[in-house]
């Protein structure tokens, strides 16, 4: 057997398990266990043990359950509804800061598209009738409902961006703040606390198993020389660094059409990010660009998860085909955003560098 293509066999073995409905975490771990056992013997199973131990001892990961708990508390005390009614080894603080820049850019593109198309075709975005428009009193009430969660977001992100607290410390602050907001709004009950803790445990366990499975898969893949094979292929690819990024972006996009973003990050980023870094791309920029790509995949037919969520929220007379069609302009804007940040990376890097000195 040609050992150079063994890493490729790992992916061939992975996809049938995913198609069969095996959870991504267990599919990744199963492939890693089978390949390591039959290639290197029973002693190689220590890879799974060391990966599990490394995940359990990662202090930064403590932020995951805390942020999840904060989100559940805000959701179950209807604070999220109030908000709606009112509309890779890189520093996490840097990713937050860069994410703000990327988010503002995307929001600007969306606003411009809606504004321009509304001017061309008023039926596309009709103005509300005067009797349906919110009064100043209603607007003030909506601002009041946004105040506490808005302050919590500003304080949590602000402490990270200003270097006052680590992401884990800020997550703990956010979880405590969500409880305080629930108490102030007189909506927090023991049932909400219990269910939030239970669901936080479930989601955190899922994330933890996914990290362990992806870590084991990546370790075996690297041990078989997979990273070196991919790196050699990328370095010799016609078109240079830019073509490598294009191919990597397409690969991440296709994976993102079928897998959860978290699974793609755990599986693909450890392989792709080091190669792009060697080719001269900024590591922080890589992380932000991959997130933009994954966001595009999340609204892309035929398996855009957000599209199915939207279908569940819309009237029954709106078909999934109509939702697919409506996503095409947004996908185009996402592609435009990616081109812009590719050509002008400073657009998303200036804020992290200004705040955190990157």
Mean pLDDT, all residues of the chain: 79
Judge whether residue 85 has pLDDT over 50: no
* Global pTM value: 0.68
**Maximum Cα–Cα distance across the chain:** 75
At 28-77, the pLDDT tens digits run 888 888 888 888 888 777 877 787 787 777 766 777 777 777 777 766 66
Same domain, 184 and 69: yes
- Give yes or no: residues 286 and 317 share one domain: yes
Contact present, 160 and 167 (Cβ < 8 Å):
yes
Q: Report percent pLDDT > 90 for the chain.
A: 2
Look at residues 326, 337, 258 and name the one whose alpha carbon lies nearest to residue 291.
337
Specify if 316 maps to a domain.
yes
For residue range 221-261, what is the model confidence (pLDDT) as tens digits?
888 887 777 777 777 778 788 888 888 888 888 877 777 77
Distance of CA 270 to the CA centre of its chain: 15
Cα distance between residue 94 and residue 266, in whole Å: 19
Q: pLDDT at position 173, please? A: 80
One domain, residues 252 and 213: no
Residue 1's pLDDT band (boundaries 50, 70, 90)? low
Q: By the 8 A CB rule, do 47 and 216 touch?
A: yes
Average pLDDT over residues 6-21: 81
Q: Rounded to an integer, what distance in angstroms lies between the CA atom of residue 12 and that of residue 34?
A: 13
42 in the same domain as 52 = yes
The 3-state secondary structure of 223-261 reads HCCHHHHHHHHHHCCCCHHHHHHHHHHHHHHHHHHHCCH
Give the pLDDT of residue 91: 63
Q: Which domain holds residue 5?
A: 1-57+209-224
Compute the distance between CA of residue 206 and CA of residue 203 in angstroms, rounded to an integer.
5
Identify the CA nearest to 281 among candidates 320, 252, 244, 311: 244
- Whether residue 149 sits in one domain with residue 67: yes
Say yes or no: 125 and 218 in one domain. Answer: no
Asked which of 107-121, 159-173, 267-281 is least confident by mean pLDDT, the reply is: 159-173
> Looking at the predicted structure, is the pLDDT value of residue 2 above 50?
yes
E strand spans, 162-276? none
DSSP letter for each residue of 206-225: HHHHHHHHHHHHHHHHHHTT
């Amino acid at each position: 057997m040609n050992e150079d293509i063994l890493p490729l066999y790992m992916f061939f073995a992975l996809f049938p398990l995913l198609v069969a409905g095996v959870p991504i975490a267990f599919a990744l771990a199963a492939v890693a266990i089978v390949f390591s056992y039959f290639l290197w013997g029973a002693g190689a199973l220590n890879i799974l043990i060391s990966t599990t131990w490394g995940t359990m001892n990662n202090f930064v990961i403590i932020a995951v359950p805390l942020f999840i708990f904060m989100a559940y508390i805000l959701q179950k005390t209807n604070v999220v509804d109030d908000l709606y009614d009112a509309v890779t080894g890189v520093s996490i603080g840097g990713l937050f800061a860069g994410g703000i820049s990327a988010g503002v850019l995307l929001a600007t593109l969306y606003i411009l598209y809606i504004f321009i198309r509304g001017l061309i075709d008023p039926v596309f975005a009709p103005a509300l009738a005067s009797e349906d428009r919110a009064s100043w009193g209603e607007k003030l009430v909506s601002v009041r409902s946004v105040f506490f969660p808005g302050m919590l977001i500003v304080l949590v992100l602000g402490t990270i961006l200003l270097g006052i607290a680590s992401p884990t410390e800020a997550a703990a602050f956010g979880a405590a703040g969500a409880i305080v907001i629930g108490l102030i709004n007189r909506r927090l009950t023991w049932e909400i606390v219990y269910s939030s803790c239970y669901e936080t445990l479930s989601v955190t366990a899922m994330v933890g198993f996914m990290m362990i499975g992806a870590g084991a898969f990546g370790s075996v893949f690297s041990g078989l020389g997979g990273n070196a094979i991919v790196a050699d292929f990328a370095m010799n690819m016609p078109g240079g660094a830019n073509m490598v990024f294009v191919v990597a972006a397409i690969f991440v996009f296709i994976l993102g059409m079928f897998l959860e973003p978290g699974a793609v990050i755990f599986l693909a980023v450890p392989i792709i990010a080091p190669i792009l870094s060697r080719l001269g791309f900024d590591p922080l920029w890589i992380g932000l660009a991959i997130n933009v790509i994954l966001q595009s995949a999340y609204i892309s037919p035929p398996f855009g998860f957000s599209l199915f969520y939207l279908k569940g929220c819309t009237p029954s007379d709106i078909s999934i085909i109509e939702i697919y069609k409506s996503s095409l302009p947004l996908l185009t804007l996402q592609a435009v955003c990616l081109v812009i940040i590719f050509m002008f990376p400073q657009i998303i890097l200036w804020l992290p560098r200004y705040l955190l000195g990157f």
